[in-house]
Amino acid sequence: MTLRRRRVNRVATISVHTSPLDQPGTGDAGGMNVYIVEVAKRLAELGIEVEIFTRQTARDLPPVAELAPGVLVRHVTAGPYEELDRADLPGQLCGFLSGVLRTEAMYDPGHYDVIHSHYWLSGQVGWLAKERWGVPLVHTMHTMAKVKNALLAAGDKPEPGIRVLGEEQVVDVADRLVANTAAEAQELIELYDAPTDRVAVVNPGVNLKVFQPASKGAARHRLDLPQDAHVLLFVGRIQPLKAPDVLLKAAARMIEHDPALRSRLIVACVGGPSGNGLARPALLTDLAAELGISDIVRLAPPAPQDELADWYRAADMTVVPSYNESFGLVALESQACGTPVVAASVGGLRTAVRDGLSGLLVDGHDPDTWARALARLVDRPGWLDFLSANAVRHAVGFGWSETAARLAEVYAGAMAQRQWAPVAVNS
């Protein structure tokens, strides 16, 4: 039987623990925020309205805010008007669910065609909402506890059992599971027993209008960086998972091997403390002093996209030493600006970076290994130019419009399958 696909008119997007209005790079705001915002805007351009439900973290936030034409952000009261640690959020899910259900109750039945939840906490809310509304649940993990626990940074805390159980429950009930890469899809199938026919691979994208090549010299001038410097860039939340300490230790090794490099080397880190990194907010400052490289380390707060694009353009290479990434949007943004990436050979970074073509993939997290990889590029500007040209070619294959179009297909398929699902009849 051929499933007849209804048009998708309105999506309820659920993002409990972080708002799409938050600045990525600090707190719990990161690549997931970028994903939700960019996808919502592109879906709206396709004529699909998106309403994003997120927890209200301040009393003065409006109940509803327009993010873009066709995209609304609904602030749901659940718990105190303040940022909460993710470990405290499971206790607020009932209140959050109540707010979501009250919103839907204001409309005629069938107001939302599909629910798309992001991260396991949102999946728990989506699970109950889909049963109440009779619509399919599409879920994106973004990160998975079982994967993170297998690849922990030194001193990092494992994800708790409640999250593992919560993820398993969401996998069981979701009509579709969206994986960022084929490797993530395989992890869902092998680690969570996800049925293969319910897993769809949809690559994230990059905003090619913002992140594009432009003058390196002009970017360095705006950021007050020396024109002749070797700039190594880290962008992201400062936490053990992202491993910015690996970059600082590698830079120290580079100077040990070549003391003359100190006068021209700059390590720029753009981001703020997050997660387990909140326990040591001065980690990078302290580490730089301990390594004797405070003079070459430049720390900058999270930046809006236009300024972030300048940081990428100003850098010789962007360094992504994470212990795990479901995709690695930073790597894609950097390449779109023409800056090669040196990344850990883990997770989605193996898709986001073309090893030897748009950047380099490094096995493990040994600072000496990273120092050698970075020094090879610093010493070979011709190779950097080659990688730079191919980085742009690689990145233009990942546009958010393509991501949204593919997600719309996933939504329609889930709706069609639910429409034709057999109904049990009691005898």
Question: Tens digits of per-residue pLDDT, 167-216?
Answer: 999 999 999 999 999 999 999 999 999 999 999 999 999 999 999 999 99
Strand partners, 71: 50, 68
What is d(CA 4, CA 271) in angstroms, rounded to the nearest whole number? Answer: 46
Check pLDDT > 90 for residue 144: yes
> Is 7 labeled as ligand-binding?
no
Three-state secondary structure call for residue 233: strand
Question: Cβ(41)–Cβ(144) under 8 Å?
Answer: no
> Is 371 labeled as ligand-binding?
no
What is d(CA 190, CA 175) in angstroms, rounded to the nearest whole number? Answer: 18
Check pLDDT > 90 for residue 362: yes
Return the pLDDT at 281: 65
> Is 390 labeled as ligand-binding?
no
Q: What is the pLDDT of residues 374-417, one digit of tens each?
A: 999 999 999 999 999 999 999 999 999 999 999 999 999 999 98
> Is 184 labeled as ligand-binding?
no
Structure tokens at 387: 């990688």
Residue with tokens 């960022």: 180
Residues in the chain: 427
What is d(CA 217, CA 256) in angstroms, rounded to the nearest whole number? Answer: 28
> Is 292 labeled as ligand-binding?
no
What is d(CA 342, CA 365) in angstroms, rounded to the nearest whole number? Answer: 12
DSSP string, 155-206: TPPPPPHHHHHHHHHHHHH-SEEEESSHHHHHHHHHHH---GGGEEE----B
Q: How confident is the model at residue 424 (pLDDT cuts 50, 70, 90)?
A: very low
Neighbours of 252 (CB within 10 A): 21
Residue with tokens 């009691």: 426
What is d(CA 395, CA 358) in angstroms, rounded to the nearest whole number? Answer: 9
> Is 254 labeled as ligand-binding?
no
Question: Cβ(377)–Cβ(317) under 8 Å?
Answer: yes
Of 394, 233, 388, the closest CA to residue 308 belongs to 233
Q: How confident is the model at residue 27 (pLDDT cuts 50, 70, 90)?
A: low
What is d(CA 137, CA 125) in angstroms, rounded to the nearest whole number? Answer: 10
Neighbours of 46 (CB within 10 A): 13
Does the CA dihedral 398-403-409-411 come out positive or negative? positive
Question: Cβ(275)–Cβ(29) under 8 Å?
Answer: no
Q: How are beta strands 64-68 and 71-76 bridged, if at all?
A: antiparallel
> Is 229 labeled as ligand-binding?
no
> Is 421 labeled as ligand-binding?
no
Neighbours of 113 (CB within 10 A): 21
Structure tokens at 392: 């742009």
Sheet of 137-140, strand order:
64-68, 71-76, 49-55, 10-14, 114-118, 137-140, 176-179, 199-201
Q: Give the whole-number percent of the chain exceeding pLDDT 90.
A: 81
Return the pLDDT at 45: 97
Structure tokens at 16: 């409990």
Strand partners, 184: none
Structure tokens at 129: 């909402």
Read off the pLDDT of each residue in 6-23 and give the average, rounded to a whole number: 90
Question: Cβ(55)–Cβ(109) under 8 Å?
Answer: no
> Is 343 labeled as ligand-binding?
no
> Is 106 labeled as ligand-binding?
no
> Is 301 labeled as ligand-binding?
no
- Mean pLDDT in the chain? 92
> Is 351 labeled as ligand-binding?
no
Question: Cβ(153)–Cβ(243) under 8 Å?
Answer: yes
Three-state secondary structure call for residue 300: strand
> Is 28 labeled as ligand-binding?
yes
Structure tokens at 159: 């994800």
Question: Cβ(98)–Cβ(79) under 8 Å?
Answer: no
End-to-end Cα separation, the chain, in angstroms:
26
> Is 312 labeled as ligand-binding?
yes
> Is 242 labeled as ligand-binding?
yes
> Is 81 labeled as ligand-binding?
no
> Is 29 labeled as ligand-binding?
yes
> Is 315 labeled as ligand-binding?
yes
> Is 32 labeled as ligand-binding?
yes
Q: What are phi and psi of 51, to 5 degrees?
A: -120, 120
Q: What is the pLDDT of residues 276-296, one digit of tens each?
A: 655 566 889 999 999 999 999
> Is 30 labeled as ligand-binding?
yes
Return the pLDDT at 153: 82
Q: DSSP label at 273?
A: B
> Is 305 labeled as ligand-binding?
no
